[in-house]
Every structure is written in C-alpha cells, then in structure tokens.
Structure 1
Amino acid sequence: MPVPSSAPTEHQLLRDTVRHKIHAAIMDGTLEPGERLNDDELIAWLGVSRTPIREALSQLARAGLIEMAPNRYTRVTTPKAEEVVEAMQTLGVLFGGVVRLAVPRLTASTRKKILAQLDRTITELDAHDVPAVNHDALSVFGLYVDACGNENLQRVCRDTTDGLAFRLRLPNLDELIDWDQLTTDFRRLRDATESGDNVAAELATEAIHLLPGEKQHRPG
C-alpha cells in the first residue's frame, strides 16, 4: 500500500505562516485586545486567500488569542479581571512541572541566563512595572521550558501558554494579586534555581501562580 507522506503541504505551510504573523501582531500589540479582524483586510495585509486565514484564526482561537462567534465577529481576545486567577493557576500547573524537570538539567550558561532574566523580572516587580513583568515573566518560564527535556510538555506549553499569559495583560494586574508576595516568590524561585533545588523551585513557581496548598511547605 502507498505510504502516506508526513511532509507538510504547501497549504499547511501557508496556514502556519499566516498564523505566526497574526500571532506575532497580537503579542506585540499591533493588533490590540478587542480589535475586530476583517477577512478582506487580512487578505490585503497577508496577501493570501481566505482559506488559510480562516484556518489560522481557528487555531489562534483554540489557543485563546482570538474570540470567534459565527456571523457576528472575529476579534482579538480581551483580557478580563475575572480570568486572572484561573489563567495563572493553569500556567502554574504547567510551569511547576517544567521547572522541576529543568532545574537539575541546567548547564552553567543556561542557569546564568535564567538568573539574569529572573533578576530583571524582580527589578520590574519592585518598580511595579506591570507591562514589563507581563512580558519578562513569561520569557523566563520559556527558558525553563526550553531546558526541561520533555518534548511532550514543551509542545503543550508552546501551544497554550501565550493564550493564557495574554489573559494577564491587564494594566491593573498589581491590584488584582498580592504584588509583594509575588515578588517574594520570584526571589524564592531565583534562590532555588541558583542552588539547584528543583523541588523548592517547583513550589515557588506554584506559589507565583496562586496554586493553593503550597504555604504549608514554607519554612518557618
């Protein structure tokens, strides 16, 4: 029997190119929360037909970056205050396992890079620089994802974390969570990463993301 080819088709590659471009425009703010996405305008911008655009938008909707209602609207997701805790906890479930796997595997150069990124994030937390924290906190956990060595977990994270993190892009995020405690927990993550204590790093990550039950493990 003929063996099916696993090579991506031109159509698939086009769809993925469109998805990456729209994804990048959402994440860098070119396409703003709540902005409606018109097929004709997207066709003019991207220079492709309607089909790969609709397929790319459907994928972005599954990732949580696009909201779609048939015959009503297609628009960039608008972060909502009531979604903050749920989004953070979901990220915590993912990133807790990532950090536990990654910390024992870190090379000296990767550990140095992560510590530098954590120092940057902690400085931004101290300054209450919400937009910078929104960007750099996700970036630092991306470094742990790259280092965790589990391809399945990496795939899940890369498919879902942007949509979840996008829900935290609220200008008043520091009013919705305990900012001082968040800063303390990031310092705990930094210390545990530096010392190579992957369990302490996992617990700090879960605390950062508001998962319940971790306080009982804290010393003192």
Structure 2
Amino acid sequence: MNEPAKKEVLSAPRAAPLKRSSLYEAVAERLRDMVMEGELAPGSRIAEKSLCEAFGVSPTPLRQALKVLASEGLVEMLPHRGARVTTVDREEVRDLFEVMAALESLAGNLLVVRASDMDIAQVRALHDEMMEHFNANRRPQYFALNQQIHARLAELSGNRVLKDLEQSLTLRITRARYVANLDSARWEESAREHTYFVEALEARDAQALSEALSLHMRKTGQAILQGLPASP
C-alpha cells in the first residue's frame, strides 16, 4: 500500500522562489502570513511587481492568490488598480465575536454528546501542552495550540457547517488579534478559561461547557476591541 503523500513544508525565506504543485496556494499562504503579521500593513497597496520578483513567480499565480485573500476579507480588489490590504473594522470585529460566541455555545452542546473519551483525552493533551508554553511565557507556541484546540473542538462537534464557519471566522479574528495589543492580564485570564472549559468537557457537562466556551469568546472579543488602535 502506498504511503499518503506528505504535505510540503515551506521553510525557505520569504524572498526565496516558491515550489509547489498548486503555486497560487503557496503564494496565498505566504501573503496571508504577511497580512496577519502586519508585514503588509492595513490599507497598504499590494506591490505586485515587487512580490512577483521576491517570490519568483509570474503575475498569474499572484493574482489568483489575491482573489483567495479577497474571498477571506483580507485584501480588496480595486478595479483596474490592483489590490490593497483591508483595514480592521471595529464594528466587524464586534459582529464576528457575537457570531463566534453563538457558535461556541452550540459546539459545547454538541461536544458532550458526540466527542468520544479518546477525543476528549486528545483535547486534554493539547491543553496541557499549551499550558506548558503559557508557564514558560512562550506566546507564539501558546496561541498556535490555542487555535488548534478551538479548531479541534469545532471538528469534534460533528457539524460540518459549524466547522466551516468557525474556520472562516477564525481567520479574520486572528488578524484582529495580531493588530490588537493584548496585555498579560488577559492572557492569564484566557488560560484559566481554557482550563475551565476543558474540565467541563471532561465532565460532559453540556450547560457548563456551552456557557464557558461562549463566555470565553465574548471576553476575548472585548479584549481585542479594547486593544485595537484608535481609528484615525
């Protein structure tokens, strides 16, 4: 039996030529990271020629990638004028978290019925690893596992529409989190909230889990809104 193909990992510097079967996907991935991390600033125009030279690609895969990012709300296509990075809209961030809080509440009710004991044990293992990073003050690793846990919970809910919605909205929320300046007090509070809802999941307490997940998302939204820079 043939072994499944392993996904190629991009480890080259940003300016190195890209090699991948679906080149525009690799370009989209790189551009997405640049937007998320602020390397391409909100409101800035996309310098297509410079990026093509940096990535070692023709304009076609770059423009295909920009269409992908436009569908995700990260860039805006300008008629006959290329593209620019969208700004983080405070009202949109508020609306996103209201929807995410409702999705998390639904996920909590579904999880206690549909997640197996092994599934819950895997979530616990991810949580414990995340807390190791928290205790060692390793923020990037902590937040990477934080997102992985939420994605796994959405998957374990067994509802594909919920999973797809969460994935789409999380992408836009992640960008707002990068822009916001979250303080250490909120980080500590968030870690405690994670511990609480993992314990509720282990106890298969639907009400406690649903309420904890929803509250966690609402408080995260409030913190991000407070941390966003003021509009000019």
Q: 2:74 aligns with which of 60, 65, 69?
A: 65
Q: CA deviation at 1:196?
A: 1.4
Tell me which residue corresponds to 1:4.
none
CA distance in 2, matches of 1:103, 1:22: 38
Per-residue deviation, residues 177-196 of structure 1 (Å, max 9, x unmatched): 75554344222201111111
Q: Is the 8 A contact 2:75 2:83 kept in 1?
A: no
The yes-or-no answer on 1:56 pairing with 2:62 is: no
Does the 8 Å CA contact 2:105/2:211 hold for their aligned counterparts?
yes
**How far apart in 2 are the matches of 1:15 and 1:142?**
25
In structure 2, stretches of 5+ residues that fail to align are 1-21, 220-232
Identical aligned residues as a percent:
24
Q: Whole-Å Cα distance in 2 between the matches of residues 131 and 179 of structure 1?
A: 12
Separation (CA, whole Å) in 2 of partners of 1:122 and 1:146: 21
Structure-to-structure mapping, 1:102-141, within 5 angstroms:
102-122=111-131, 130-141=139-150
Give me the CA root mean square deviation: 3.7
- Paired letter, 1:98: A
Q: Give TM-score scaled by structure 1 length.
A: 0.67
Alignment-mate amino acid for residue 84 of structure 2: T
Alignment of 1:97 with 2:106, yes or no, is yes
Alignment match, 1:196: 204
1:205-216 matches, within 5 Å, as: 205-210=213-218
Deviation of 1:73 after TM superposition, in Å, equals 5.8
State the TM-score, normalized to the length of structure 2. 0.64
In structure 2, what is the Cα distance between the partners aligned to 1:111 and 1:193?
Answer: 7
**In structure 1, distance between residues paired with 2:90 and 2:124:** 30
